[in-house]
Amino acid sequence: MYICSCFGITEEQVREHADTGACTPRQIASACKAGTDCGSCVRRIQTLLGRGPNQRHQDVLVAGLPVGAERAPFAVEAA
pLDDT tens digit string along 20-44? Answer: 999 999 999 999 999 999 999 999 9
Decide: residue 28, CB within 10 A, 0-12 exposed, 13-18 middle, 19+ buried: buried
Domain that holds residue 27: 2-66
Total structural domains in the chain?
A: 1
Distance CA 10, CA 53 (A): 21
The CATH number of residue 44's host domain is 1.10.10.1100
Q: pLDDT over 90 for what percent of the chain?
A: 62
Q: Is residue 19 part of a domain?
A: yes
* Cα 73 to Cα 77: distance, rounded to the nearest angstrom: 13
Q: In the predicted model, what is the mean pLDDT of residues 6-31?
A: 95
Among 21-25, 57-61, 73-77, which is the least confidently predicted range?
57-61
CB 32 within 8 A of CB 22: no
**Residue 76 lies inside a defined structural domain of this protein:** no
Count other Cβ atoms within 10 Å, centred on residue 53: 9
Residue 4 has pLDDT above 80, yes or no: yes
